[in-house]
């Protein structure tokens, strides 16, 4: 019974490149959440998706960031034209029903480093 799977675990990008982070939710989970953890800070909500729908993207930066959760395949967090300030750990979480009042199951994260 695999948990929330994120890949890659580590990603290095040069400034101006694109970063694609993938998240496969737990089996049977159709709700996905993305959080970002900057150094010395707690996790910050970015976006909440259901299959083929963005429910809440209030935490997403207005530019360069986008997310999707297609009918088939993993959820993707895409960052265009990365800058040094995008360096962070990005965590995906999933739940079987939403909104998840009882807490989520998180993946191990993707650590993005922009050089």
Partner 1 sequence: QKEVEQDPGPLSVPEGAIVSLNCTYSNSAFQYFMWYRQYSRKGPELLMYTYSSGNKEDGRFTAQVDKSSKYISLFIRDSQPSDSATYLCAMSGMGGATNKLIFGTGTLLAVQP
Q: How far is the CB of 33 from partner 1 (least distance, A)?
A: 7
Stretch 74-93 residues interacting with partner 1 (CB under 8 A): 91
The interface with partner 1 within residues 8-37 (CB under 8 A) comprises 33, 35
Q: Fill in the per-residue mask, 33 to 52: x = in contact with partner 1 (CB under 8 A), - = not in contact.
A: x-x----xxxxxx--x----
Q: Which residues contact 73 (CB under 8 A, 6 or more apart)?
A: none
Instruction: Using CB under 8 A, pick the residue from 25, 107, 112, 114 that binds partner 1.
Output: 107
Dihedral of alpha carbons 12, 89, 87, 100, sign: positive
Contact assessment for residue 9 and residue 23, using Cβ atoms and an 8 Å cutoff: no
Which of 20, 22, 66, 106 touches partner 1 by CB under 8 A? Answer: 106
Q: Which is nearer to partner 1, 69 or 104 (CB)?
A: 104
Between vectors from CA 24 to CA 105 and to CA 84, what angle results, nearest 5°? 85
The reply to whether 99 sits near partner 1 by the rule CB under 8 A is: yes
d(CA 37, CA 90): 6
């Amino acid at each position: 019974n695999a948990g929330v799977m994120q890949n890659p675990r580590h990603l290095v990008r040069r400034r101006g490149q694109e970063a694609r982070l993938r998240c496969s939710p737990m089996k049977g989970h159709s709700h996905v959440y993305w959080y970002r953890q900057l150094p010395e800070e707690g996790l910050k909500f970015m976006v909440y998706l259901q299959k083929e729908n963005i429910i809440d993207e209030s935490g997403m930066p207005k530019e360069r960031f986008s997310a999707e959760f297609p009918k088939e395949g993993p959820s993707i967090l895409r960052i265009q034209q990365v800058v040094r300030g995008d360096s962070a750990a990005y965590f995906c979480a999933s739940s079987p029903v939403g909104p998840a009042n009882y807490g989520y199951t998180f993946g191990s994260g993707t650590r993005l480093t922009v050089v």
